[in-house]
């Protein structure tokens, strides 16, 4: 899927004030971001939906995908381009849950967190996932308890085994992204993008 490539911005409500949401997303896109994920961990459904619609107006303007973390119903109601799901979102019967979500979202993008588990990624590719994400690649300030993958060989193997795009996430910044960028389709960034000026920060990733 060609839409999953380059610099993948993931929002963080601790780094992006709500009244600066559209401004900071737009600045990140102008700096080089190719797709955006809304990740809201603290807001309720209605607020998440409102924020998704606000971001969608920006991503539509620049013709880039908006992915919603965790919530397929927010993705559906906001007409976002897709959803990103982890183990906790899919529950105990992950494959049945995935198939139900696929029916809800039909032709939308579905991305799956696969942590350090290549077999998981292969199974979800067979089920119809559009991309998979592995990580944390490096120690991450937003998820400090996540195990660190930190293996280029892992990503080389993943790219050989998988036909769908591979996303790296976790602790990626302007100082270390070149270690991984040749072996993945996209790099997902949170703190290194939104901790400060997102336009300037995005420009530090030379991905064009």
pLDDT tens, residue by residue, 122-138: 999 999 999 999 999 98
H or E element, residue 8: strand 6-10
Q: Determine, yes or no, domain membership for 132.
A: yes
Q: Determine, yes or no, domain membership for 154.
A: yes
How confident is the model at residue 1, as a pLDDT?
A: 61
**pLDDT for the residue numbered 206:** 81
Mean pLDDT, all residues of the chain: 93
What is the band of 143 on the pLDDT scale with cuts at 50, 70, 90? low
Q: Is residue 82 part of a domain?
A: yes
Q: Domain for residue 208, yes or no?
A: no
User: Percent of the chain beyond pLDDT 90?
Assistant: 86
Cα-trace Rg, the chain: 16
Please determine, for residue 145, whether its predicted confidence score (pLDDT) is greater than 90: no
CA distance linking residue 205 with residue 208, whole number of Å:
9
Contact 54/70 with Cβ under 8 angstroms? no
47 within some domain: yes
Domain that holds residue 138: 6-203
1 within domain boundaries = no
Q: Evaluate whether residue 135 is within a structural domain.
A: yes
pLDDT at 198 over 80: yes
Can you give the pLDDT at residue 119? Answer: 97
Count: domains in the chain: 1
Distance CA 77, CA 53 (A): 9
Tell me the mean pLDDT in the region 178-192: 95
DSSP string, 37-94: EE--SSS-HHHHHHHHHHHHHHHHHHT--EEEES-HHHHHHHT-SEEEE-HHHH-SSH
Report if pTM > 0.75: yes
Question: Is the pLDDT confidence value at 184 over 80?
Answer: yes
CA distance 34 to 29: 7
Q: How confident is the model over 10-34, as pLDDT tens digits?
A: 999 999 999 999 999 999 999 999 9
The whole-number average pLDDT for the span 41-59 is 96
Does the pLDDT value for residue 73 go beyond 80?
Answer: yes
Residue 151 has pLDDT above 80, yes or no: no
| Residue 208's pLDDT band (cuts 50, 70, 90) | low
CATH number of the domain residue 162 falls in:
3.20.20.70
Q: Looking at the domain assignment, is residue 190 inside a domain?
A: yes
């Amino acid at each position: 899927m060609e839409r999953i490539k380059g610099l993948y911005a993931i929002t963080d409500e601790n780094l992006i004030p709500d009244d600066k949401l559209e401004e900071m997303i737009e600045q990140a896109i102008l700096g080089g971001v190719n797709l955006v994920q809304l990740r809201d961990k603290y807001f309720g459904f209605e607020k998440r939906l409102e924020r998704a619609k606000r971001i969608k107006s920006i991503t539509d303007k620049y013709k880039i995908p908006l992915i919603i973390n965790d919530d397929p119903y927010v993705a559906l109601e906001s007409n976002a381009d897709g959803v990103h799901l982890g183990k906790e979102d899919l529950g105990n019967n992950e494959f049945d849950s995935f198939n139900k979500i696929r029916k809800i979202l039909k032709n939308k993008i579905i991305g799956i967190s696969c942590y350090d588990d290549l077999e998981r990624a292969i199974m979800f590719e067979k089920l119809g996932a559009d991309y998979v994400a592995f990580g944390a690649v490096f120690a991450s300030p937003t998820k400090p308890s996540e195990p660190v993958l930190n293996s280029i060989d892992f990503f080389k193997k993943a790219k050989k085994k998988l036909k769908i795009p591979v996303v790296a996430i976790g602790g990626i910044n302007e100082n270390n992204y070149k270690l991984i960028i040749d072996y993945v389709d996209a790099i997902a960034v949170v703190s290194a993008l939104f901790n400060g000026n997102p336009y300037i920060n995005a420009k530090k990733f030379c991905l064009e």
